[in-house]
C-alpha cells in the first residue's frame, strides 16, 4: 500500500516537473520570438529611416524627428540584444581560454562567469530602473517629438533584468546537466585534446 502511494506521489511529481518544463519551454519560445522579431524589425526600421533621412537631407529637407527615433531604436536593439546574446551564448567570452581547459574546470569557470554576470546584470538593471524613474519624475521630454524621454529608456532595465535571468538559467542548467552549457540554449563544443 505504501509503495503504491509512493509511486503515485512520484508520478504526480514527475507530471508537475513535466508541466513546469513545458511552460518554461513555451515561455522561452515566446521570449525568443519576441527578441528575434523586435531585433529584426528594429534594425530594419533604423536602417530605413536613416537612409530616408540622408536622401531627404541631400535633395529636400532633413526629417526633423529621425534622429530621436534612431536613438530610441539603438537603445532598444542594444538592450533586447543583450538578453538575446546571453541566451544564445553570442556574447563576448574567453572561448580560447575555455577550450584549453579540462571539462571539469571549464564547468567551474562557467559557474563563476554566470554567477558574476547575473549579479552584475541585476545590479545594472536596478540602477537603470532608478535612473528611468528619475527621468520620469523630472518630466523630461524629447526636443523634436515632445515625447517623455523615459519612454526611450524603459527598455534598459528590462534588457538588463532579462540578461540577468538568462545568466541565472545558465547557472542552473549547469547544475542540472552533466555537460557544460555556455548558455541555456547552447552547449559547449569542448572536445578533449590528446597530446
Residue 11 pLDDT exceeds 70: no
The backbone torsions φ and ψ at residue 148, rounded to the nearest 5 degrees and listed phi first, read -60, 130
**Range with the poorest average pLDDT among 4-13, 72-81, 166-175:** 4-13
Give me 80's grid cell: 533586447
pLDDT digits (tens, 9 = 90+) for 37-73: 989 998 999 999 888 888 888 888 878 888 888 889 9
Average pLDDT over residues 148-172: 89
Within a 13 Å sphere around the CA of 44, how many CA atoms are in the beta-carbon half?
6
Radius of gyration (Cα) for the chain, nearest Å?
22
How far apart CA 19 and CA 23 sit, in angstroms, is 6
pLDDT digits (tens, 9 = 90+) for 97-118: 777 777 778 888 888 888 999 9
pLDDT at residue 8, rounded to an integer = 54
**Average pLDDT of the residues of the chain:** 81
pLDDT at residue 129, rounded to an integer = 95
Amino acid at each position: 500500500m505504501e509503495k503504491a502511494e509512493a509511486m503515485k506521489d512520484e508520478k504526480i511529481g514527475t507530471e508537475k516537473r513535466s508541466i513546469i518544463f513545458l511552460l518554461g519551454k513555451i515561455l522561452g519560445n515566446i521570449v525568443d520570438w519576441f527578441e528575434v522579431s523586435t531585433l529584426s524589425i528594429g534594425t530594419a526600421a533604423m536602417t530605413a529611416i536613416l537612409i530616408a533621412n540622408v536622401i531627404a537631407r541631400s535633395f529636400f529637407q532633413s526629417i526633423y524627428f529621425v534622429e530621436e527615433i534612431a536613438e530610441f531604436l539603438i537603445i532598444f536593439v542594444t538592450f533586447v540584444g543583450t538578453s538575446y546574446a546571453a541566451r544564445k551564448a553570442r556574447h563576448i567570452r574567453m572561448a580560447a581560454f575555455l577550450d584549453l581547459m579540462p571539462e571539469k574546470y571549464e564547468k567551474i569557470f562557467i559557474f563563476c562567469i554566470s554567477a558574476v554576470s547575473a549579479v552584475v546584470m541585476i545590479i545594472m538593471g536596478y540602477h537603470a530602473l532608478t535612473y528611468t524613474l528619475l527621468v520620469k519624475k523630472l518630466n523630461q521630454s524629447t526636443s523634436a517629438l515632445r515625447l517623455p524621454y523615459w519612454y526611450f529608456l524603459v527598455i534598459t532595465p528590462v534588457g538588463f533584468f532579462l540578461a540577468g535571468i538568462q545568466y541565472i538559467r545558465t547557472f542552473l542548467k549547469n547544475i542540472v546537466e552533466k555537460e557544460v552549457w555556455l548558455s541555456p540554449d547552447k552547449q559547449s563544443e569542448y572536445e578533449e585534446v590528446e597530446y
